[in-house]
């Protein structure tokens, strides 16, 4: 494998993205295995043109801590499976009711709602099997620490909790309580931190843990991950408002149409751009102690802020 | 704690059942924590009068291998959370469309469909956090082996795959392929082995692994678990046909009304009873090498076969 230091960011993302895609193809059961429909649905949803941001962060964080990318590959795939499961469930009629994603029919449109629920559940379970697989390369201690970190990031204190707050924020009729956060500004931040930020942060932390990084490096990468995760979601919100339909590949203004709480909605587009830039600066500053080993992570943070899709 | 050998089966089940319920209450986030609605829904579904069969099997298998029940408690709770998540998702309108379970409104009736999907997802994630917690008592190696075993038991080769076969077996209109198994008898066995059997087997294996049992004992308990799991589901099918509504607490004949493949449907009630008895005999024989330490597991297998609800 070409060493990290000799690659530009785009060469790095392409090379490691290929690694991830090849590994996902290996780890997912073949579509010919019974019951075929669920294996087809898992592959349909995983190979849908995603950016592979979370697995790339696992690998880049591992390499920034002098870890072998090959040893982090099963966990990199696991976080992508978890991300995919969350998109499938979020798209369901009872949730965001989205018919298309990245220009293609969503899982429940293509395979039916029952299979879509089960496809999410199957990807969720397979992710934890893949995290356990990492033990062969890095030992049970590190693999288990990663399993704990990721499980914590996707529960009610993280991804699922963020989705609940998002639903409550929409004023969707539901039994019981209203949103727990008083200020609209606080709420949108809390939703984004949990719904997107925690899994992105856990992906960065997982890479560092698998590489056996020391506590100081892990803390620095945790700060980096949290800020990058929040900036990523803010840019997503901005693109939802100002993007071009063909580029984003989903119905634009969807968030506004559903009265979702977003950064542009709460702060305006210009202020949201500034906030994303500030978070990115903070993220880069957080990992200055890594020195040149942190270059890919630094450039990636900046690249994510500037992206147009 | 009173030693295993001094307890009758019903004393054992009551004492350990209390341990499990107390631990579940500790592990589940308080209903007062935000976002409250999901924590309420998790507790509503977990404390719904279940038999706690799977956690009791974890504890009984651990104790049969001279393990400390306290060291197996977080994993015992984890398998109950996974079982609960699967019931919540199975009850959804797109799946079995059940309005009541154990005489109470199902999660999606009580909290809405979006929260029900997310409640299942949250329980699923919390389960893997609890499995990781076991490392504090038994070390990372054993906890990780349990995590791998359980993740494998609930994916498309296990619980989720069984649910997919079940849906296909109902002839529900879905895109794509028909059922992969030709014979109706083979299919009903395959559905039950995957949908119920694999998690019950994994529960027994988890207890043995946590206790540090040797390979021979683990293999014996695996055979026991598979047979008990299949017998349990056959008895469930029989009760669905012949049970008394008030006792079973759900609309009876529901399986027949939905053309589900069941043992009584495929083999008749009498032959199904014989099959359950044969499987129970095999299960008990499989653990004869455990000697007196296996008494609770032996009696439990027999008790499950004779149960009337």
- A192: nearest Cα among A109, A117, A275: A275
Q: What local confidence, expressed as pLDDT, does residue A256 receive? A: 53
Mean pLDDT across chain A: 91
Interchain proximity B121–A120, CB inside 8 Å:
yes
Interchain proximity A164–B118, CB inside 8 Å:
yes
Interchain proximity A156–B113, CB inside 8 Å:
no
Interchain proximity A118–B89, CB inside 8 Å:
yes
Q: Is the pLDDT of residue B177 over 50?
A: no
Q: Which residues contact A285 (CB under 8 A, 6 or more apart)?
A: none
Test the A interface: residue of B118, B135, B258 with most A CBs within 10 Å: B118
Residue corresponding to tokens 């029919």: A105
Q: What local confidence, expressed as pLDDT, does residue A177 receive? A: 43
Q: How many residues are given for chain A? A: 309
Q: Is the pLDDT of residue A83 over 50?
A: yes
Which among A34, A113, A128 has the least Cβ separation from residue B94?
A113
Interchain proximity A35–B110, CB inside 8 Å:
no
Q: Is the pLDDT of residue B15 over 80?
A: yes
Test the A interface: residue of B114, B135, B163 with most A CBs within 10 Å: B114
Which among A122, A144, A174 has the least Cβ separation from residue B37?
A174
Domains located in chain A, CATH noted: 4-306 (1.10.600.10)
Interchain proximity A115–B34, CB inside 8 Å:
no
Q: Is the pLDDT of residue A230 over 90?
A: yes
Contacts 24+ apart (CB under 8 A), A136-142: A137/A68, A137/A70, A137/A71, A138/A71, A138/A210, A138/A212, A139/B140, A140/B139, A140/B140, A140/B141, A140/B143, A140/B144, A141/B140, A142/A209, A142/A210, A142/A212
Q: What local confidence, expressed as pLDDT, does residue B69 receive? A: 97
pLDDT tens track for B118-176: 999 999 999 999 999 999 999 999 999 999 999 999 999 999 999 999 998 764 433 44
Q: Is the pLDDT of residue A84 over 70?
A: yes
Which among A39, A144, A151 has the least Cβ separation from residue B125?
A151
Helix (H) or strand (E) holding B73: helix B69-91
pLDDT tens track for A136-162: 999 999 999 999 999 999 999 999 999
Look at A193-207, A246-260, B155-169, B291-305 and tell me which has the smallest mean pLDDT.
A246-260
Which among A36, A140, A168 has the least Cβ separation from residue B144?
A140
Interchain proximity B175–A148, CB inside 8 Å:
no
* Chain B residues within an 8 Å CB radius of A163: 118
* Chain B residues within an 8 Å CB radius of A172: 114
Q: What local confidence, expressed as pLDDT, does residue A92 receive? A: 98
Q: What local confidence, expressed as pLDDT, does residue B73 receive? A: 98
Interchain proximity B132–A113, CB inside 8 Å:
no
Q: What local confidence, expressed as pLDDT, does residue A41 receive? A: 98
B-proximal residues of A, 37-76, CB under 8 Å: 37-40, 42
Cα A25 to Cα A52: distance, rounded to the nearest angstrom:
14
Which among A35, A135, A174 has the least Cβ separation from residue B161?
A35
A-proximal residues of B, 75-134, CB under 8 Å: 85-86, 89, 92, 94-95, 110-118, 120-122, 124-126, 128-129, 131-133
Query: Do residues A93 and A87 make contact, with C-beta atoms less than 8 angstroms apart?
Result: no
Q: What local confidence, expressed as pLDDT, does residue B136 receive? A: 97
pLDDT tens track for A274-294: 999 999 999 999 999 999 999
Interchain proximity B156–A120, CB inside 8 Å:
no
pLDDT tens track for B40-62: 999 999 999 899 999 999 999 99
Q: Can you give the pTM of this predicted structure?
A: 0.93
Closest chain B CA to residue A97: B114
Closest chain B CA to residue A118: B160
**What percentage of chain A reaches a pLDDT higher than 70?**
88
Q: What local confidence, expressed as pLDDT, does residue A309 receive? A: 76
A-proximal residues of B, 167-206, CB under 8 Å: 167-168, 172-177, 179-181
ipTM: 0.93
Interchain proximity A147–B147, CB inside 8 Å:
yes
* Chain A residues within an 8 Å CB radius of B191: none
Query: Do residues A118 and A190 make contact, with C-beta atoms less than 8 angstroms apart?
Result: no
Interchain proximity B180–A144, CB inside 8 Å:
no
Following DSSP, what letter does each residue of A236-271 receive, concatenated? Answer: HHHHHHHS-HHHH-S-TTHHHHTT---HHHHH-HHH
Q: In Å, how far is B82's CA from the nearest CA of chain A?
A: 10
Interchain proximity B37–A128, CB inside 8 Å:
no
| Interior angle at CA A32, CA A29 and CA A33, nearest 5 | 55
Closest chain B CA to residue A135: B144
Name the pLDDT band for A183 (thresholds 50, 70, 90): confident
Per DSSP bridges, beta strands A100-101 and A104-105 are antiparallel
Cα B90 to Cα B195: distance, rounded to the nearest angstrom:
11
Interchain proximity A114–B94, CB inside 8 Å:
yes
Count of other CB atoms within 10 angstroms of residue A29: 19
Query: Do residues B73 and B210 make contact, with C-beta atoms less than 8 angstroms apart?
Result: no
């Amino acid at each position: 494998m070409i060493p990290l230091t000799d690659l530009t960011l785009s060469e790095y993302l392409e090379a490691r993205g290929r690694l991830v895609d090849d590994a996902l193809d290996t780890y997912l059961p073949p579509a010919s295995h019974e019951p075929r429909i669920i294996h087809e649905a898992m592959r349909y949803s995983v190979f849908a043109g995603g950016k592979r941001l979370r697995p790339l962060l696992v690998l880049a964080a591992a390499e920034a801590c002098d870890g072998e990318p090959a040893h982090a590959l099963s966990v990199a795939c696991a976080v992508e499976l978890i991300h995919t499961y969350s998109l499938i469930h979020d798209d369901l009629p009872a949730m965001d009711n989205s018919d298309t994603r990245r220009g293609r029919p969503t899982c429940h449109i293509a395979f039916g709602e029952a299979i879509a629920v089960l496809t999410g559940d199957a990807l969720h379970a397979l992710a934890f099997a893949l995290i356990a697989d990492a033990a062969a390369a890095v030992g049970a201690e590190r693999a288990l620490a990663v399993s704990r970190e990721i499980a914590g990031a996707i529960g009610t204190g993280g991804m699922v909790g963020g989705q609940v707050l998002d639903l409550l924020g929409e004023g969707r009729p539901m039994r019981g309580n209203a949103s727990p956060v008083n200020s609209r500004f606080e709420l949108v931040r809390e939703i984004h931190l949990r719904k997107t930020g925690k899994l992105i942060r856990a992906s960065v932390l997982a890479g560092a843990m698998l590489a056996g990084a020391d506590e100081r490096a892990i803390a620095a990468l945790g700060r980096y991950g949290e800020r990058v995760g929040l900036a990523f979601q803010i840019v997503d919100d901005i693109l939802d408002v100002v993007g071009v339909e063909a580029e984003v590949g989903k119905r634009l203004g969807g968030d506004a149409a559903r009265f979702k709480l977003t950064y542009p909605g709460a702060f305006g587009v210009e202020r949201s751009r500034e906030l994303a830039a500030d978070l990115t600066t903070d993220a880069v500053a957080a990992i200055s102690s890594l020195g040149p080993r942190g270059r890919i992570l630094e450039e990636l943070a900046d690249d994510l802020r500037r992206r147009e899709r």
